[in-house]
Structure formats: structure tokens, C-alpha cells
Amino acid sequence: MNNSAIERLVIVGGGTAGWMTAASLASHFSKTPMAITLVESSAIGTIGVGEATIPSIRRFYGALGLKDAEVLKRTQATAKLAIQFDGWRESGHSFFHPFGVYGQDVRQVGFHHYWLRMHREGLAGDIGDYSLAVALAQSGKFTPPAPNPPTPLSVFDWALHFDASLFAALMKDTALSLGVEAVDARIDSVRCREPDGFISELVLDSGKVVAGDLFIDCSGFRGLLIEGALQTGFDDWGEWLHCDRAVALQSELDDPEVLPPYTRSIAHSAGWQWKIPLQHRQGNGYVYSSQFISDDEALATLRENVAGAPRTEPNIIPFRPGRRRQAWRKNCIAVGLAAGFLEPLESTSIALIETAIDKIKLLFPDKNCVAPLVDEFNDMTALEYERVRDFIILHYKLNGRSEPFWQRCRDSAVPDTLQHKMDLFRERGHLVKYRWEIFQNASWVALYMGLGLLPARYDPATEYFDTDYLKKAFAQMRQSLGEAAAAAPAHAAFLAQEGIRT
Ligand SMILES: Cc1cc2nc3c(=O)[nH]c(=O)nc-3n(C[C@H](O)[C@H](O)[C@H](O)COP(=O)(O)OP(=O)(O)OC[C@H]3O[C@@H](n4cnc5c(N)ncnc54)[C@H](O)[C@@H]3O)c2cc1C
């Protein structure tokens, strides 16, 4: 090891971001002499939300040697195959965004082109009728995908709904078992050294000082190091993302015998409500714009739309959509809410924690934190956030509701990157994929089609097949998906069978 190798890595914050980072870096660097210390304050606590994930979470904990069944059990989790969007296009309309493909691409032509042609001829059902993940979700069934799917039609993925505090506890246990040192104290001040302004020490309320070579800021919205000490600046995306508050409330399950294997996202007058089923309780929240509705009105709407008895007092959480101008500055890297937050839609925040950790591993510096590494990290992070931002804006832009909040969302200009994507899809169903996209083509198709943005033209190459052939192929797909869903166990039964839910 050279003299300038990082010897002391200090993580600030013990929420989901802090403990995921600690566990993953401790595992990755287990054979190095680098010491990892995490400072958290149980008196301050964590944000206590963040319970829906996307499938990459399973790869994340898998790399730590954790198995699905174990994580599901320890975190009271359920499976998530999709998000159901209710009332976004218009009142009474509903569609799924599944973690999986639609139909089969044939002869280098995307399935959605064939679907569009058949739809125009009145010969296709809803596009969701050609997705196994949707078929399972609609019937409340769950089974993991076959390891070697018999056809591309059987390909789908799944994620988890988990208890955020139990998941952070699992990550903490993993990190501690890998030698991470935990300190429970409040950080009172941050010392920077001369002349380069690098962070050198944290001063705790006990008077103790924690010194480090590299600091990971997982202190949540406050960004204690990245903003408090280093004044990095924040790009506010409020012109595009109008929601700026949420009220969260845990309740009893609507029906403990029926666990939907999907998140629900229900549009209301000034935002949307999440419903996240766990094994033992339900997470609920209303994400809204304070310009269009008061906290009291939002809470009243949420209460009206939660069937189970409340288990907690409502928690009102203000947020500012946007991101730190630099996620990495000097010897400090921000991860989690300290780096930025868009909003809860599509559960992207924990996924962005995972990608930040991946990049830290990829570009791990020495004590000098030289500019090329910092710049590369910041460029990649900026692109990742912007891609996710565009995907989220799309949901609002294409809404078909009439309330003033929704009209504002529809009328707001969108970033050029998103406009370009929408134009190409609208013109001939072309899907633009930029670097550092977290969401794949099928997700964009789900949203375009679900919200009613249908292309003007489909690919003329679909004419290779005559209509009768396609009609039969479409009917066969529906039949085989229906049969696969019928053969799968109900989600609640699956969790019981596997000994996950007792
Ligand atoms: C309403 C809402 C809903 C969300 N839903 C989802 C979702 O469904 N899916 C998803 O992926 N994400 C979601 N998120 C985001 C998700 O909650 C976060 O990404 C995740 O919880 C990580 O938070 P964190 O660890 O960065 O911050 P926090 O949980 O806030 O943790 C901050 C840590 O820093 C410590 N700390 C702060 N100051 C000090 C100090 N002075 N001294 C010592 N310690 C300190 C705190 O004690 C705490 O341990 C949601 C967010 C919001 C606001």
C-alpha cells in the first residue's frame, strides 16, 4: 500500500444510506487495512420512510451474501412486481408499470410496435395483457422468475417492500460483522484543514474527535458535511417537480390475508398517495405540492384513503427536489438524501444509493482525491440523477387530470433531454436510451402507453407478419401468461410456504 492510501474512512449518518454504504464498502475492502467508522445520532434519528425498492436492491444485498428469503424475513418484506398507477391518466383509469418486458421483440422490432399495429386494428388488449409481471400482479400472485425462462415472455424481475428501519438494522449487523466501528453521538462541528480545505475531523457532543482521510456524508437532507462544511450548493428542480411535501402514516393492513405484490400510486387532487404492503403493516403517504393544498387537507385526504387503523402519528416531511451540485467535493462524498432527492415516485432514492456506492468502489481515491476521479464521479452522478428526474417528470407531464395542480404539471416545460425522448416516441415509437439510465426501455413503454402517449406511426417492418399470424400469436401469449399466473401461488401463500411470514 502506498503512503497516501486511505487509512481512515468515516461515514456520517446511520440511516439506510449510511449503513448500506458501510456494509458494502466494508465487504469490498475487507482485505485492506482501511478502518471504517460510522457516526450516527440515535437522538436525531433517521427519516423513517423509504420502503419501496426496485430490483437492483436484490443484487445489492446478494453481493453481501444475503439471500432473498432471509432479507424478506428479517425486514417483514413483501415482493414488489410492479407499481399500479390509479387515476393518473384520468379518474377511474389504472395501469401497471411492471418490472418486466411486454411480449417479445421479433426481427429487431420492439413488441410495442406490433402491439400498436394490432391495437389500431382493434385486435389487441391492453399492453399489460402481454406481461407476466402484470398478469401475476393483477391476480395477487407471486413466484420468483424461473432461473432459465422457457421464453422471453417469461422474463420478469422483482423488488421488495421492506420496513426501512429493519433493513437499516440488517445492514448495520452486516457492517458490524465486517468490522465497522459504530459511534452513537451528535456531531457538533466539522473541522477543515488548511490550505486545501479538506475535512479533517468531526467534533462530537461528547468532546471526542473523529479524524478521517475520506468522509462519506450520509447525514440526510441536512448534508452536514457536503453543504454544512463545504457549501457545495444545490440545484433546485422545483420548476419541473412540483411536489415538495409528504405526509406519512403507518396503518394496519387493509386485509392481512391479501398482500398485493405491488405498490399502489393513487392520484389525488394535488399529488399522489402511496400504499406499500409489508407483512405486518402498511406504509401510506401522500406526496403533494404545498402550493395547492395545506398540510391539514393533505392529511385529511390520506386518512380518508387509508382503510386500516393508524399505527403511528402522521409525519409531515418537507423536501426540496434537486441535487447537490457536486456529490463529491474535496475529500467528502455525499450519498443518499445528502446528495439529493427527487421525490418518492418510482422508488429511486435507494437505487441511487446503490449506484453511488458502486461508483465509490470504482473510483476509490487515495488521500489526495485528485480531480479526474472527482470529476468523473460527479459527471456520472449528474447524468444518473438527470435521467431519473426525466423519468419522474414524464409521469406528471402526461397526466390527464383536470385539477389546477395537474394542469400545472402538464403545462410546465420539460428538460430538453426528456422532450427529445417524447418527440421520438410520439413520432414513430422510437425509444431513446441515454447513458446512465436506471430505467430500461420497457419502463418507458409502460409509462408512455399507460398515460396514453401512443406513437403516430409504428415500425413498417411489422408488415413482415400478416394480421392473422399476429392475431394468433397475441392470443397465444395471453393464454400462456394467464396459465402461468393461474399456476402461481397467491402472494401471501408464497410467503407462508417459504417460511418467510409466520
Ligand atoms: C416521503 C419520502 C418517501 C420516500 N420513499 C422512498 C421509497 O419508497 N423508496 C426509496 O428508494 N426511497 C424513498 N425515499 C428516500 C429514502 O427515505 C432515503 O433515500 C433513505 O431513507 C436514505 O436516507 P438517508 O440515510 O440518506 O437519510 P436519513 O435516514 O435522514 O439518515 C440520516 C442520518 O444522519 C444522522 N445525522 C444527521 N445529523 C447528524 C449529526 N449532527 N450528528 C450525527 N448524526 C447525524 C441521523 O441520525 C441519521 O442516522 C423517500 C423519502 C421521502 C422523504
Report pLDDT digits (tens) over 281-319: 999 999 999 999 999 999 999 999 999 999 999 999 999
pLDDT of residue 153: 84
Give the strand pairing for 82-86 and 262-268.
Answer: parallel
pLDDT tens-digit profile of 188-221? 999 999 999 999 999 999 999 999 999 999 999 9
Q: Amino acid letter at 226?
A: I
CA–CA distance, 429 with 502 (Å, rounded to integer): 47
pLDDT tens per residue across span 236-279: 999 999 999 999 999 999 999 999 999 999 999 999 999 999 99
Q: How far is the CA of 350 from the centre of ligand 1 (A)?
A: 10
Q: Which atom of ligand 1 is nearest to the CA of 18?
A: 25
Residue type, 348: T
| Helix (H/G/I), strand (E/B), else coil: 178 | coil
Ligand 1 closest atom vs CA 40 = 44
Per-residue pLDDT of 122-165, as tens digits, reads 999 999 999 999 999 999 999 999 888 888 888 899 999 999 99
Sign of CA dihedral 468, 471, 477, 478: negative
Which residues form the pocket of ligand 1, taking CB atoms under 6 Å from any ligand atom?
13-18, 39-41, 44-47, 49-53, 164, 186-187, 218-220, 222, 224, 246, 248, 285, 317, 319, 336-338, 344, 347, 349-350
CB 57 within 8 Å of CB 438:
no
What secondary structure, in 3-state letters, does 356-409 show? HHHHHHHCCCCCCCCHHHHHHHHHHHHHHHHHHHHHHHHHHHCCCCCCHHHHHH
Active-site residue flag, 31: no
Under a CB-based contact definition with an 8 Å cutoff, are residues 103 and 477 in contact? Answer: yes
pTM exceeds cut of 0.95: yes
Atom 19 of ligand 1, nearest CA residue = 349
Q: What does the pLDDT read at residue 116?
A: 98
pLDDT digits (tens, 9 = 90+) for 401-458: 999 999 999 999 999 999 999 999 999 999 999 999 999 999 999 999 999 999 999 9
To test the pocket of ligand 1, the residue of 19, 44, 315, 388 to mutate (highest count of ligand atoms within 8 Å of its CB) is 44
β partners of residue 96: 84
Atom of ligand 1 nearest to the CA of 339: 26
| Residue 347 CA, closest ligand 1 atom number | 9
Q: Which amino acid is present at 125? A: G
How far separated are the first and last CA of the chain, in Å rounded? 49
* 202 close to 10: Cβ distance less than 8 angstroms: yes
Compute the distance from residue 351 Cα to the ligand 1 centre, in Å. Answer: 13
pLDDT in tens, 341-400: 999 999 999 999 999 999 999 999 999 999 999 999 999 999 999 999 999 999 999 999
Task: Give the CATH architecture of domain 8-76+162-236+321-387.
Answer: 3-Layer(bba) Sandwich (3.50)
Q: Ligand 1 centre from 48 Cα, in Å?
A: 7
pLDDT of residue 1: 52
Q: What is the pLDDT of residues 17-59, one digit of tens each?
A: 999 999 999 999 999 999 999 999 999 999 999 999 999 999 9
Q: How far is the CA of 42 from the centre of ligand 1 (A)?
A: 13
Catalytic residue selected from 80, 275, 330, 359:
80
Atom of ligand 1 nearest to the CA of 13: 34
The DSSP output letter for 156 is B
Report the candidate in 120, 156, 141, 78 with the shortest Cα–Cα distance to residue 482: 141
Q: Tell me the CA–centroid distance for residue 219 and ligand 1, in Å.
A: 7
Kindly give the distance from the C-alpha atom of residue 15 to the centroid of ligand 1, in angstroms, as a whole number.
5
Kindly give the interhelix angle for 16-28 and 349-362, rounded to the nearest 10 degrees: 30
